[in-house]
Amino acid sequence: SEEGKYAEFIVRLPYLEADEEETEQEKEEQDSPLVSISTDEGTEVPEVVSPDNKPCILVVDDNKDIVWLIKESLSPTYNIEEAYSVEEALRFMEQQTPALIITDIMMPEIDGLELVSRVKSDKFTRHIPLIVVSARISERDQAEGLDLGADAYLTKPFSSVVLRSVVNRLMTSKKELKDYYYSPESAYEQSGGQLVHQEDKEFMDAVTTIIRENLDKENLRPELIAEKLGMNTRSLYRRFMKISPLTPIEFIKDYRFTYAAQLLVTTNLNVQEIIYKVGISSKSYFYREFAAKYNQTPKEYRNKG
């Protein structure tokens, strides 16, 4: 060895005759379409894999040895495409969309962070899981990669076992997410502790927006909401009956007093100003209904808050 120039290593491997029985067993394993994918829970999930339907993973690194190592680790389960620069990776992606990308950061001309940024800022590629594998190991470097959109950041030297586990988990998560959005369950979401159909939630969000924008108007009534939504008042009431335990009039009233209570604890507005902001003309009505809803006066509510 000469410091700063080179280091030479000699490795001697013994030559052994292959065991015929073992060779046949290996051949059977290679011919089998079942490949076990290890998940990070330690279980093995059999998955049917053939050369035609293996997910494509794009590996981007100017170090050919690293590309070879990743390919050796993942090729039993995935089809590995190689790129030795960001420019080469971008050209590949113009022809084919990979299922996952593994990239280094330190590369000549365009670095891996620029690739992460381009992939995650493009609406056609931002869904692709992306793993950074880099010799830059500082917390700042890792945070920068993750902030740009990388789904995982592994430092060199990395464990092949960990890499496989991360790849398998991201691929599984991607499939689960895709299955979810194609399922009927995706049309529902949690709102107020109840499962609400997405269309119904969008409808109620539109109603709430109209109420919020017209809250200071005394003429804020169901007829105004129906008109803004392009429907008649009867249809509005029917839709409400399917979604909410409140009628449109009750919903408007509840929104007025909920917003008034919020203003009491988040602003310095006096009660009269708040009454004006929520579109109520009668001070006595406001005090009476506020006490009925919160079991205390506006002043007591503000002091308690």
Report the DSSP beta bridge partners of residue 218: none
Report the DSSP beta bridge partners of residue 37: 45
Task: Please say whether the beta carbons of 243 and 200 come within 8 A.
Answer: yes
Neighbouring CB atoms inside 10 A of 74's CB total 22
Q: For 273-279, which contacts have Cβ atoms below 8 Å and span 24 or more sequence positions?
A: 274/298, 276/216, 277/215, 277/216, 278/215, 278/216, 279/214, 279/215, 279/216, 279/217, 279/218, 279/220
Report residues of the chain scoring pLDDT below 50: 22-23, 25-26, 28-50, 183-192, 195
Instruction: Report pLDDT for 239.
Output: 86
Per the omega criterion (within 30 degrees of 0), is the bond before 51 cis?
no
Neighbouring CB atoms inside 10 A of 246's CB total 14
Instruction: Report pLDDT for 180.
Output: 52
Report the DSSP beta bridge partners of residue 48: 34
pLDDT in tens, 72-83: 999 989 999 999
Instruction: Report pLDDT for 298.
Output: 93
DSSP SS3 for 47: strand
Q: CA-to-CA distance for 208 and 73, rounded, in angstroms?
A: 53
DSSP SS3 for 102: strand
Domains of the chain are 20-181 (3.40.50.2300), 188-304 (1.10.10.60)
Q: What tokens were used for 20?
A: 């015929």
Distances (CA, A) of 44 to 21, 56, 163, 174, 176: 26, 21, 16, 18, 17
185: Cβ–Cβ under 8 A, 6 or more apart, which residues?
A: none
Instruction: Report pLDDT for 16.
Output: 74
- Kindly give the pairing relationship between strand 188-191 and strand 152-155: unpaired
